[in-house]
Amino acid sequence: MAFRAPHGPFHAPPDQLHSFGDLTNASVRVLARAMTEAMDRELARILQHVDLSTTTVFFIGDNGTYRPIYRGPGSQAKDTVYEGGVLVPLIVAGQAVAPAARGREVDAIVQSTDLYASVLELAGLAHGPPQSVSMMPYLQDPDTPPLRRFIYSEIFEPNGGPIDQARHDRAARDVRYKVIENGLAPPEFYDLQTDPGETTPLALQSLSAEELEAFVRLRQRTGYPQRCGAGLGVVLIVPILMTLRSRLRSRLQASRPRSLRTRG
């Protein structure tokens, strides 16, 4: 079942579905909150007639928050690949959720496409689409280690024709780090553990060995260098690879006996 609200055009929902009183001159933000409460009440009315002992319910948003009502940092809301544009609520309840897992939160990263494999597994079909990873293990044990190494998001124009690279924004992230490429602009790299609002990109010239490895690995997931010209590659990637090579050489020289024993 799809709920369009809260979405534009923002309006006052029926009085019995919200607690905000007279909304005649209400702001867009207040209208959005009233519409959200109305959706919540209507969902509760539906769930009163659902047997959760035999049914599993997935609740998920389709995209991030509309910019005029966004309350996060900057303008990183809907229609961007920042967390404010792609991070959405996901709630699962019902038969598939183990009793010990109910009311718990899962820190692992998942993507909306993972719903396909999850529903197929619920139906007793083991093989889902290759880009879909079943969330079922998390519903049994929320502490299950992340099953995805990364998730990818993109937004582009025009829709339905050859993509204009200047209007093609991409992002790839793992549990901690995230690379964002907005059009043809230089990449941005964030540590979401220390900067969840993506307010201050990490300086690419002074990354630690761990950060550098994550940056190179995630940037490959955004399609670099296949989609870029040679000039951009020389400017952005060669110094990074030279730094990586130097750091790896130093680490190998400092710990060669242990490395050889571990890998042997």
Q: Could you report the per-residue pLDDT of 216-243, keeping only the tens digit for each? A: 999 999 886 555 433 333 333 333 444 4
pLDDT value at residue 226: 53
Name the E strands within 88-166: 90-94, 151-156
Q: Which residues pair with 191 in a beta bridge?
A: 177
CA angle 207, 224, 248 (to 5 degrees): 35
Residue 80, Ramachandran bin (φ over 0: left; ψ between -120 and 50: alpha; else beta) = beta
Q: Considering the domain boundaries, does residue 247 fall inside one?
A: yes
Q: Which long-range contacts (CB under 8 A, 24 or more apart) does 230-234 make?
A: 232/184
The fraction of the chain above a pLDDT of 70, given in percent, is 84
pLDDT value at residue 237: 37
Rounded Cα–Cα distance for residues 125 and 127 (Å): 6
60 contacts 112 by C-beta, under 8 angstroms? yes
Q: Considering the domain boundaries, does residue 31 fall inside one?
A: no
pLDDT value at residue 260: 28
Q: Considering the domain boundaries, does residue 6 fall inside one?
A: no
Positive or negative: CA dihedral 28, 8, 86, 179: negative
| Residue ranges in 101-225 assigned as alpha helix (H) | 114-122, 136-140, 209-221
38 to 22, 23, 66, 87: CA distances (angstroms) = 15, 13, 18, 22
| Residue ranges in 66-208 assigned as alpha helix (H) | 83-86, 114-122, 136-140
Tell me which residue of 233, 186, 177, 179 sits closest to 210, measured CA to CA.
Answer: 177
User: To which residue do tokens 């941005």 refer?
Assistant: 188
Q: Considering the domain boundaries, does residue 232 fall inside one?
A: yes
Domain count, the chain: 1
User: To which residue do tokens 């490959």 refer?
Assistant: 220
Q: Which residues pair with 182 in a beta bridge?
A: 169
pLDDT value at residue 59: 95
**In tens digits, what is the pLDDT along the chain, a chain of 264 residues?**
888 888 889 999 999 999 999 999 999 999 999 999 999 999 999 999 999 999 999 999 988 888 888 887 766 899 999 999 999 999 999 999 999 999 999 999 999 999 999 999 999 987 778 889 999 999 999 999 999 999 999 999 998 889 999 999 999 999 999 999 999 999 999 999 999 999 999 999 999 999 999 999 999 998 865 554 333 333 333 334 444 444 434 443 333 333 223 232
Rounded Cα–Cα distance for residues 263 and 36 (Å): 54
Q: Considering the domain boundaries, does residue 108 fall inside one?
A: no
179 contacts 215 by C-beta, under 8 angstroms? yes
Name the E strands within the chain: 56-60, 90-94, 151-156, 168-173, 177-182, 188-191
pTM for this model (two decimals): 0.80
Domain that holds residue 238: 149-157+164-264
Q: Considering the domain boundaries, does residue 65 fall inside one?
A: no
Could you give the 3-state DSSP secondary structure of residue 153? Answer: strand
pLDDT value at residue 225: 54
Could you give the 3-state DSSP secondary structure of residue 176? Answer: coil
Q: Considering the domain boundaries, does residue 219 fall inside one?
A: yes
Give the domain CATH number at 249. Answer: 3.30.1120.10
